[in-house]
């Protein structure tokens, strides 16, 4: 069982170090290889996704990623920026489905900016399609055109989806709902965008194959509002790349901190890239205060989805719950009366609970 570890930029190395400690504590005989992705790869090789990293990712059964990016690299040409490394590895591995659970632990009910009665018991799974949509559509770029008689710069991005791309993420959503509360809400903007009219059509075509799952549709602007108004109405949400990017971050804040939320990006064989939902947080990098729990919980998702080790995944998740119940908190989830700890101390607490 081979894992490619990509610590990345900012707080990435700090949080992945704690997740690796948890993996090693399980004594499951994983073989791990560390490689460069993102800004650190640009600094070392000139490329955000060097060939050595491509080979390591292809050779591995799963990939554990910290985070990439930071203002340091924003001055670079777009194709050289750290985020291109992330897009590149998703494409190379065929990672089409991003699974983002948004779960509110009872101990963190007061950490949410919403009233506890609105978010208490929250448990949503958002499936975001990863390989299509406006992020990958051609043509794209910035060009000069004559508009209203004036030569000016015009930015061009094209939103494209094929029915097969929609169908495979749709099937995954229905299958996930069968293991949960049997409800799928498909999010689109079909009243304006023909691309998402196709999305809705294909979802409706799939629905008869899953008579035990309730399918509903919601326009993305309404979905954004409903996530704040009454989030517990949702079970599984499925949507395209851009809408999913936005909605999953919105949902993450319902839980009190994006530092608590893991994610999995899967291909058709179950190979996956696992990473926290948050970014590289360069403002706190190197200070030892970042929350490693999202990365540790991403390891639990790795064990569940790629390696089929449900018992071990639950061990990690139970350990995180125990640590929270014991009152340990990093700064992002701290409240008076709890024990404020740093990155390594939180890792120590999870290992003790394990």
Q: What is the pLDDT of residues 300-318, one digit of tens each?
A: 999 999 999 999 999 999 9
Indicate the SS3 state at residue 323: helix
291 and 166 housed in the same domain: no
Would 261 be classed as within a structural domain? no
- Tell me, what's the pLDDT at 339? 96
Distance CA 162, CA 77 (A): 30
Q: Which residues pair with 126 in a beta bridge?
A: 100, 237
pTM > 0.85: yes or no? yes
Helices (H) and strands (E) in the chain, counts: 12, 14
The CATH number for 246's domain is 3.40.718.10
Mean pLDDT computed over 220-229: 97
113 and 240 housed in the same domain: yes
Number of domains in the chain: 2
Would 262 be classed as within a structural domain? no
Helix (H) or strand (E) holding 222: helix 220-229
Q: Which residues of 282-310 are buried (b: 16+ CB within 10 A; e: fewer)?
A: bebbeeebbbbbbbbbbbbbbbbbbbebe
88 and 199 housed in the same domain: no
23 and 54 housed in the same domain: yes
Residue finishing a domain among 256, 283, 299: 256
Cis geometry, peptide bond prior to residue 139 (ω within 30 degrees of 0): yes
Whether 247 and 280 have beta carbons less than 8 Å apart is answered as no
| Complete DSSP assignment for 172-186 | HHHHHHHTTTSEEEE
Mean pLDDT computed over 93-108: 91
Catalytic residues: 135, 189, 221, 245, 249
The DSSP symbol for 291 reads -
90 and 69 housed in the same domain: yes
Domain span including residue 116: 104-256
Q: What is the pLDDT of residues 169-179, one digit of tens each?
A: 999 999 999 99
């Amino acid at each position: 069982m081979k894992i490619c570890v990509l610590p990345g930029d900012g707080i990435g190395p700090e949080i992945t170090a704690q997740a690796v400690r948890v993996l090693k504590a399980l004594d499951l005989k994983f073989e791990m290889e560390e490689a460069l992705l993102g800004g650190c790869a640009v600094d070392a090789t000139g490329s955000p996704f060097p060939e050595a990293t491509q080979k390591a990712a292809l050779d591995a059964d799963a990939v554990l990623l910290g985070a990439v990016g930071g203002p340091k690299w924003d001055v670079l040409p777009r194709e050289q920026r750290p985020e291109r490394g992330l897009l590149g590895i998703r494409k190379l591995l065929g990672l089409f489905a991003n699974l983002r659970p948004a779960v509110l632990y009872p101990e963190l009910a007061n950490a949410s900016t919403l009233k506890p009665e609105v978010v208490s018991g929250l448990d949503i799974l958002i499936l975001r399609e990863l390989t299509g949509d406006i992020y990958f559509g051609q043509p794209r770029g910035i060009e000069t055109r004559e508009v209203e008689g004036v030569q000016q710069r015009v930015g061009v991005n094209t939103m494209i989806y094929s029915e097969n791309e929609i169908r495979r993420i749709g099937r995954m959503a229905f299958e996930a709902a069968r293991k949960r509360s049997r409800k799928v809400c498909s999010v689109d903007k079909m009243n304006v965008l023909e691309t998402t009219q196709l999305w809705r059509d294909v979802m409706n075509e799939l629905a008869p194959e899953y008579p035990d799952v309730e399918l509903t549709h919601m326009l993305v602007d309404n979905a954004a509002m409903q996530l704040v108004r009454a989030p517990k109405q949702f079970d599984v949400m499925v949507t395209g790349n851009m809408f999913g990017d936005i909605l999953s971050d919105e949902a993450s804040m319902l839980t009190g901190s994006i530092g608590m939320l893991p994610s999995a990006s899967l291909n058709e064989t179950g190979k996956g890239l696992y990473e926290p939902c948050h970014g590289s947080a360069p403002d706190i990098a190197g200070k030892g205060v970042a929350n490693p729990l999202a990365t540790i919980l991403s390891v639990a998702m790795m064990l569940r989805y790629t390696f089929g080790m449900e018992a071990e995944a639950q061990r990690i998740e139970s350990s995180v719950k125990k640590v929270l119940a014991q009152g340990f908190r990093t700064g992002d989830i701290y409240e008076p009366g709890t024990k404020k700890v740093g990155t390594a101390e939180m890792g120590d607490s999870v290992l003790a609970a394990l």
